[in-house]
Amino acid sequence: MKNKIDYSSDWNLDPAPESTGHIKLKNKYDLFIGGKWVKPKSGKYFATINPATEQKIADLAEAGQTDVDAAVKAAKKAYDTVWSKLSGKERGKYIYRIARLIQEKAREFSVIESLDSGKVIRESRDIDIPLAAAHFFYYAGWADKLEYAFPNRQPKSLGVAAQITPWNFPMLMIAWKIAPALAAGNTVVLKPAETTSLTALKLAEVIQEAGLPDGVVNIVTGYGKTGAMMVEHKDVAKVAFTGSTGVGKIIMKAIAGTNKKSTMELGGKAANIIFEDAPLDQAVEGIINGIYFNQGHVCCAGSRLFVQESVYEVVLRKLKDRMESLYVGNPMDKNTDIGAINSKKQLDVINNYIKIGKAEGAEIYQPKCKIPKKGFWCKPTLFTNVAQSNRIAQEEIFGPVLAIQTFRTVDEVITKANNTPYGLSAGVWTDKGSKIFNLTSQLKAGVVWANTYNKFDPTSPFGGYKESGHGREGGLHGLEPYLKFD
Amino acid sequence: MAEKDYKLSPRVDQVGIQDRVDRITKRSVKNEAKRKGLYMALNMIDLTTLEGADTDFKIKQLCYKAQHLHDSFPGLPTTAAVCVYPNFVKTAVQEVKGSGVKVASVATAFPSGQSSLEIKLLDTKIAVDNGAHEVDMVISRGKFHSGEYNFVHDEIAAIKEACGKARLKVILETGELGTFDKVRRASDIAMDAGADFIKTSTGKISPAATLPVTLVMLEAIKDYYYETGKMIGMKPAGGISNSKLALQYLLMVKETLGGKWLTNEWFRFGASSLANDVLMQIMKQESGNYQSKEYFSKD
């Protein structure tokens, strides 16, 4: 290419770190059971670290069988004696109170979220925490309107919900789970992901402050083993899980033949489709938001990019240019676009896929950005010369790695987009309305964004087809999995 | 070669433009970056007066200010230019002589552009003959809305020719164009017709310059550069009156077009009151305190 834009400049931004002095964290966290902090009977604790610095932040209790039993028992008791007897209006008041407290402490929540997960403060401050509060507000509103939500059907609560949340949007996913469960009249035992439990524990403090009756929400920390104990517990009526498809399958096997209801929010390998008549500069912004949002740790990430062949060169050029102005590094800096990879383990997974991509003959591109020495980092990465049969185009990488393919016709791209075991989300970029409707009706994905990507709202249901899971979270649809009907 | 169909200019999506702008407005410019940015902004200002009540005295005051922004504080740059009506060009040229400050003149029946080509050419010629270094013309928005793109193109090309060595800034008056698609289309026409700069607004219509509209135009400049290798300058004008906003514009230029565009050869602010706010921020950077607005000359 004869002309190349040079993005280097002698005018560069100075660090703009968000202050962390105002947050209150304990050195050691116990389990939150029956409205109280209790020491784990297992006696075990594990460390949670800041993935950007590898420094320990706090020790967390590891819940064993006795602890899980105690948590479920507390939830069952709260359900039988208090929560199921309370009117929807009263439940709603508690949920509103939690929402308001999250809003009041939004800054503290977002700083803790970024320290614990490696996600950039811009996102935790502007997306994760405000959206989490919005979910509580939204479902608080449903609590006293359940009777009208499902015409000609009488909804009833289920009992104790076992909820297991992932590490990519720790606080937000907790809100997605707890808010509808409480609105529907259930009580909760929640296990946050082991690498990102701090906002859950902070939420436990908010729940205490809100005066929620003891045992309505119990939060136990630990690894997958702890989650398995919850899933298998006989007094659990409902299992809600967000995480990998692999673990989702294990859970579904475990509850097969029981009466437990389930919601599974699993993996994805979304197609983001750019037609030649799309607003290309904005499509490029959508590609960036689609794959590099939250370091690509997003189940609905637009990780498979399909570009119509006639605009392939220009889209690639624009994309590469845009990547030059992404800031990678300290998540606490307000200017950072891409933060730290959540854990060493996940970094290994991503690096392994990058290796696979190269071995498969795909061409790698990464911008010139520098990354810090300590901590877990991956430059924003894209692969060109990718085939539909490449593993990097088929398997969920869960990192900032984009696989780009070209297509020629609408039918071809629909076939390729649906040619995956997953079906969580997709994106379509075109200036033509009819094309959007054609694709949205043919793409087998729970969410399809048109001329935008990764937009979320509490009123909008979210969930997958095929191996991306079942059940919906958000919106009116998100209530149903927490209710039964006569 | 087939004639270019400007109806096929790239499409622009408002939601995506806003997403990109949000990324930029959320950036935090601090310390040395802020200081340097503020100096840069001062040096990119086209200090403007375009009033019916303008007089030679007013123009002289403006020209002095352009060269001496705040003499009690040494080391400040001058503005890039002063921007005046054609009948004041002679005065302005005399006043800024030897300072490096350029004289820009609006022309072509500014601000409406509702006149014949003869008058527009004459208007331009008078400005240039009197020594204007730069001409800020307006496009015929009526013809543009009627779809007479060739008319608009040829008119710009004719004015460009009349400019001779003077650099031509083409004002699209984005506030009258209605959509981002149209802004993009008008940008493409202006660049093809020989614009050295494309400029958002006259300052007489609201909305004047905005970050989203400027981004659309910067993307057009970028595509044109890739296509032709020719650099085109950008001038947002009107409504930019505070430092924070000015720094956001500069960041947008840096992230869209790179460091090469960050000089007053390729980027200008059309503004009358921005300079004082920038000066106030520079003083604040130095002393830690905000000074009263009355410490800075209001011209």
pLDDT per residue as tens digits for the range B159-208: 999 999 999 999 999 999 999 999 999 999 999 999 999 999 999 999 99
pLDDT at A313: 97
Angle at A223 between CA A112 and CA A215, to 5 degrees: 75
The angle, 0 to 180 degrees and rounded to 10, between the axes of the packed helices B89-96 and B56-67 is 30
Which candidate from A1, A122, A321 shows the least CB-CB separation from B26? A122
Q: Tokens 């035992």 sit at which residue? A: A189
Q: Examine the pLDDT at B95 and tell me if it is beyond 80.
A: yes
Number of domains in chain A: 2
Q: What is the dihedral of CA A368, A373, A379, A383, to 10 degrees?
A: 90
Q: Mark whether B90 is an active-site residue.
A: no
Q: What is the C-alpha separation between A464 and A454, in angstroms, rounded?
A: 15
Q: Examine the pLDDT at A192 and tell me if it is beyond 90.
A: yes
pLDDT band at A486 (very low <50, low <70, confident <90, very high): confident
The CA distance from B255 to the nearest CA of chain A, in Å, is 6
| Bridging pattern class, strands B233-235 and B269-271 | unpaired
Chain B nearest-CA residue for A125: B26
Query: Do A242 and A291 reside in the same domain of the chain?
Result: no
DSSP of B155-169, one letter per residue? HHHHHHHHHTTSEEE
- Joined tokens for residue A443: 């793409």
- Joined tokens for residue A322: 């845009």
CB contact under 8 A, A285 and B20: yes
> Which of the residues A12, A121, A124, A281 would you substitute to probe the B interface, choosing the one with the greatest number of B C-beta atoms within 10 Å?
A281
- Count of residues making up chain A: 486
What are the two backbone dihedrals, phi and then psi, of residue A485, each rounded to the nearest 5 degrees? -125, 140
- Judging contacts by C-beta atoms under 8 Å, the chain B residues touching residue A8 are 258-259
Each residue of A55-83: pLDDT tens digit? 999 999 999 999 999 999 999 999 999 99
In which domain, by residue range, is A384 found?
Answer: 271-450
Q: What is the C-alpha separation between A297 and A395, in angstroms, rounded?
A: 14
pLDDT at B198: 98
A78: in domain = yes
End-to-end CA distance of chain A: 67
Query: Do A413 and A347 reside in the same domain of the chain?
Result: yes
Q: Examine the pLDDT at A1 and tell me if it is beyond 80.
A: no
The angle, 0 to 180 degrees and rounded to 10, between the axes of the packed helices A198-209 and A106-117 is 160
Task: Write out the H or E segment, with its range, that includes residue B46.
Answer: strand B45-48
Whether residue A58 contacts residue A153, with contact meaning beta carbons closer than 8 Å, is answered with: no
Q: Examine the pLDDT at A89 and tell me if it is beyond 80.
A: yes
Q: Examine the pLDDT at A319 and tell me if it is beyond 50.
A: yes
Contacts of residue A214, defined as CB under 8 A and 6 or more positions apart, other chains included, come to A34, A35, A36, A74, A78
Residues A189-205 have a mean pLDDT of 98
Q: Mark whether B165 is an active-site residue.
A: no
Residue A96's SS3 state is helix
Of residues A7, A284, A379, the one with CA closest to residue B251? A7
Each residue of B257-285: pLDDT tens digit? 999 999 999 999 999 899 999 999 999 99
Of residues A418, A425, A428, the one with CA closest to residue A450? A428
Residues B10-20 have a mean pLDDT of 96
CB atoms within 10 A of CB A88: 16
Each residue of A335-382: pLDDT tens digit? 999 999 999 999 999 999 999 999 999 999 999 889 999 999 999 999
- pTM greater than 0.90: yes
DSSP of A210-272, one letter per residue? TTPPTTSEEE----HHHHHHHHH-TTEEEEEEES-HHHHHHHHHHHTTSS-EEEEE-----EE
What is the interface size between A and B, counted as CB pairs within 8 Å?
97
The upper half-sphere exposure of residue A205, i.e. CA atoms within 13 Å in the direction of its Cβ, equals 13
Average pLDDT, chain A: 97
Q: What is the C-alpha separation between A12 and A161, in angstroms, rounded?
A: 50
Superfamily of domain covering B12-286: Aldolase class I (3.20.20.70)
> Which of the residues B11, B40, B264 would you substitute to probe the A interface, choosing the one with the greatest number of A C-beta atoms within 10 Å?
B11
Cα-atom radius of gyration of chain A, to the nearest Å?
22
Query: Do A239 and A383 reside in the same domain of the chain?
Result: no
Of residues A38, A31, A34, the one with CA closest to residue A63? A31
A357: in domain = yes
Chain A window 98-137: which residues touch B at a Cβ cutoff of 8 Å? Answer: 122, 126
A254: in domain = yes
Query: Do A375 and A471 reside in the same domain of the chain?
Result: no
pLDDT at B1: 45
Q: Examine the pLDDT at A456 and tell me if it is beyond 50.
A: yes
Q: Examine the pLDDT at B2 and tell me if it is beyond 60.
A: no
Would you call A391 exposed, middle or buried from its count of C-beta atoms within 10 A (0-12, 13-18, 19+)?
A: middle
pLDDT at A108: 98
Chain A nearest-CA residue for B220: A281
Of residues A204, A31, A213, A217, the one with CA closest to residue A105? A204
Query: Do A261 and A278 reside in the same domain of the chain?
Result: no
Query: Do A245 and A288 reside in the same domain of the chain?
Result: no
A456: in domain = no
CATH of residue A399's domain is 3.40.309.10
pLDDT at B299: 80
Residue B104's SS3 state is strand
CB contact under 8 A, A5 and B222: yes
List residues in chain B touching A: CB distance below 8 A.
10-13, 15-17, 19-20, 23, 26-34, 36-37, 40, 219, 222, 225-226, 229, 250, 254-255, 257-260, 262
CB atoms within 10 A of CB B119: 11
Q: What is the C-alpha separation between B15 and A279, in angstroms, rounded?
A: 11
A122: in domain = yes
Percent of the residues in chain A that have a pLDDT greater than 90, as a whole number: 98
Q: Where are the beta strands (DSSP E) in A368-435?
A: 381-384, 401-407, 425-429
Q: What is the C-alpha separation between B46 and A265, in angstroms, rounded?
A: 56
Q: Which residues of A are catalytic?
A: 265, 299
Query: Do A362 and A380 reside in the same domain of the chain?
Result: yes
Residues A193-199 have a mean pLDDT of 98
Q: What is the C-alpha separation between A261 and A149, in angstroms, rounded?
A: 20
Each residue of A404-444: pLDDT tens digit? 999 999 999 999 999 999 999 999 999 999 999 999 999 99
pLDDT band at A125 (very low <50, low <70, confident <90, very high): very high
CATH of residue A245's domain is 3.40.605.10
Q: Examine the pLDDT at A274 and tell me if it is beyond 90.
A: yes
